[in-house]
Structure 1
Amino acid sequence: MARVVVDVMPKQEILDPQGQAVANALPRLGFDGITEVRQGKRFELEVADDVDDATLDNIAETLLANPVIEDFVVRRVEA
């Protein structure tokens, strides 16, 4: 078995209201110096060793991310 992580983030040109809300709250909580926050999603998958990268990309593109408004990165990680 292999562990795969898929990180999904809104594209830079897409408004991120959740990230903006966090960025606005940080100074009120005493955390200064943060200029931007972007909020995304992380998926962790346990996959059989014979699942290839093209299949993983297809899963990410068709189910985990909306490629119109989101970018994604698929990576295999050490267990």
Structure 2
Amino acid sequence: MKFNVEVRIKLKKGMLNPEAATIQRALALLGYEVENTNTMDIITFTMEEDNKRKVKEEVEDMCQRLLCNPVIHDYKINIKPED
């Protein structure tokens, strides 16, 4: 069975985010006043596995070992069966 996987990775609250700060300053220079700017990485891929539970376990392992730094990042995993 194939599953579509989406992993959303963002910095934990309180971590410095220079990319978001630069975007917020640039928007202000263009005349847009925004607050609480944040950036996020979205990684998508397809996995073939017997069940959703096994996919979740493997993606959790991927996040812990490679996709993010659990010390500074929060992440959310979305898994859906491929139609």
TM score, norm. by length of structure 2: 0.82
- TM-score, normalisation: structure 1: 0.86
Indicate the percent of aligned positions where both proteins have the same amino acid.
22
Distance 1:78 1:55, change over 3 A: closer
Aligned partner of residue 62 in structure 1, secondary structure = helix
Deviation at 1:71, TM superposition (A): 0.7
Deviation at 1:75, TM superposition (A): 0.7
1:12 matched residue in structure 2: 13
- How many pairs are equivalent? 78
- Residue 41 of structure 1 is matched in structure 2 by 41
> What residue number does 1:28 align with?
29
Shift of 1:78: 5.9
Aligned-residue offset at 1:39: 1.2
Gaps of 5+ in 2: none
**Superposition CA RMSD, Å:** 1.5
Instruction: Provide structure 1 residue ranges, at least 5 long, that are not aligned to the other structure.
Output: none
Q: Is the 8 A contact 1:60 1:74 kept in 2?
A: no
